[in-house]
């Protein structure tokens, strides 16, 4: 990547107050940073300010590793929670998978085609079935079955592997296990799950069967950050498709898998491209 194409992204959350936009823009102008995208949102109910600022590094008057320390006093002044990312440092994403391959294949194909700005150092599964897929895409595969010590021992081994390969976030690509609060505490708002229904409808197991029994006219999929409350985490992306009384449960499953692929891929891209800010149970997503 050429140096003049390098960019940085600032994600900012803080209480809404006068002068925020001017202060952020003024700081970047002071250091000769050229803003290429500035998006902000004010939440009327929470009085919160959310911003995503992208700026070019080519004409920067200070070294890139000095930007964060220079910004810190301004952040303290406005009580900001903030993070700074650089375009030449893609996030490291681990994939958790069980026996369903459709979401795994889709993410790996998109990654191979250059659509996802991530590196994938590991695929981890509680079954051996997807190892040939990992080998085809030349990605290390780790089989972590249920351990003699139970779920806690299994999760401990997965956490050890994630730390070893230094991942930034985790994607549950139809990983059919419920992760514990302790596990999720290691990656807060950094574990993305795909649920095969349009949440909050049909939480839990067999949502397509539930949808069929209710005779719904729309089915969907939801990508969200996993939390200790099952299928209750902040929603990142959703989509639906229309169905009729003529569809069987198998038809709903087949149609739903197409939506699952698209929704999960969009969520992964949004997270990897630093476009999401979490606000309580909601997300602010800059598309």
CA distance 84 to 232: 28
CA distance 287 to 81: 21
pLDDT higher than 80, residue 27 = yes
Q: DSSP string of 102-158?
A: HHHHHHHHHHHTT-S-EEEEEEEESSSTTHHHHHHTT--EEE---BTTBHHHHHHHH
For residue range 34-82, what is the model confidence (pLDDT) as tens digits? 999 999 999 887 679 999 999 999 989 999 999 999 999 999 999 999 9
Is 32 strand, coil or helix? coil
Q: Is 231 a catalytic residue?
A: yes
Question: What per-residue confidence (pLDDT) applies to 3?
Answer: 41
Q: How confident is the model at residue 147 (pLDDT cuts 50, 70, 90)?
A: confident
Pick the catalytic residue from 56, 168, 231, 273: 231
Residue 26 is inside which H or E element, if any?
A: helix 20-30
pLDDT higher than 90, residue 230 = no
- DSSP H helical segments within 165-248, as ranges? 181-185, 207-214
Contact 27, 71 (CB under 8 A): yes
Question: What per-residue confidence (pLDDT) applies to 13?
Answer: 97
pLDDT higher than 50, residue 100 = yes
CA distance 77 to 30: 17
Contact 221, 194 (CB under 8 A): yes
Residue 187 per-residue DSSP state: S
CA-wise closest residue to 94 among 231, 271, 255: 271
User: How many CB atoms lie under 10 A from the CB of residue 65?
Assistant: 8
Residues in the chain: 287
**91-285 CATH fold:** Rossmann fold (3.40.50)
Query: Given this structure, which CATH class describes domain 3-86?
Result: alpha beta
* % of the chain exceeding 70 in pLDDT: 98
pLDDT higher than 60, residue 1 = no
Q: pTM higher than 0.75, yes or no?
A: yes
Residue 74 per-residue DSSP state: H
pLDDT higher than 70, residue 227 = yes
For residue range 157-209, what is the model confidence (pLDDT) as tens digits? 999 999 999 999 999 999 988 999 999 999 999 999 999 888 888 888 889 99
Question: What per-residue confidence (pLDDT) applies to 46?
Answer: 66
pLDDT higher than 60, residue 2 = no
Question: What per-residue confidence (pLDDT) applies to 266?
Answer: 98
CA distance 172 to 187: 13
Q: What are the strands, taking DSSP E only, across 205-266? A: 218-225, 235-242
Alpha carbon 35 to its chain centroid, in Å, reads: 25
User: How many Cα atoms are found within 13 Å in the side-chain-facing hemisphere of 105?
Assistant: 11
pLDDT higher than 90, residue 146 = no
| Domain ranges, ordered by start, for the chain | 3-86, 91-285
CA distance 170 to 96: 7
Structure tokens at 4: 């003049």
């Amino acid at each position: 990547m050429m140096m003049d194409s390098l960019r940085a992204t600032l994600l900012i959350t803080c209480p809404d107050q006068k002068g925020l936009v001017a202060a952020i823009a003024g700081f970047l102008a002071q250091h000769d940073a050229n803003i290429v995208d500035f998006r902000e949102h004010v939440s009327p109910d929470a009085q919160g300010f959310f911003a995503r600022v992208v700026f070019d590094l080519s004409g920067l008057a200070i070294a890139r590793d000095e930007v964060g320390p220079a910004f810190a006093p301004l952040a303290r002044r406005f009580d900001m929670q903030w993070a700074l990312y650089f375009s030449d440092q893609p996030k490291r994403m681990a994939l958790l998978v069980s026996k369903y391959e459709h979401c795994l294949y889709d993410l790996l194909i998109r990654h191979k085609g250059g659509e996802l700005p991530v590196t994938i150092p590991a695929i981890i599964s509680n079954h051996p079935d997807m190892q040939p897929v990992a080998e085809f895409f030349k990605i290390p595969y780790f089989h972590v079955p249920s351990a003699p010590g139970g779920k806690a021992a299994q999760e401990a081994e997965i956490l050890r592997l994630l730390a070893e390969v230094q991942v930034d976030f985790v994607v549950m690509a139809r990983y059919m296990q419920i992760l514990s609060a302790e596990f999720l505490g290691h990656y807060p708002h950094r574990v993305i799950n795909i649920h095969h229904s349009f949440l909050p409808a049909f939480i839990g197991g067999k949502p397509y069967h539930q949808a069929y029994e209710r005779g719904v006219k729309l089915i969907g999929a939801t990508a969200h950050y996993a939390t200790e409350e099952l299928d209750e985490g902040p929603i990142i992306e959703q989509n639906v498709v229309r169905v009729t009384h003529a569809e069987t449960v198998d038809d709903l499953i087949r149609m739903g898998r197409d939506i699952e692929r698209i929704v999960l891929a969009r969520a992964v891209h949004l997270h990897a491209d630093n476009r999401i800010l979490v606000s309580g149970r909601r997300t602010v997503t800059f598309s």
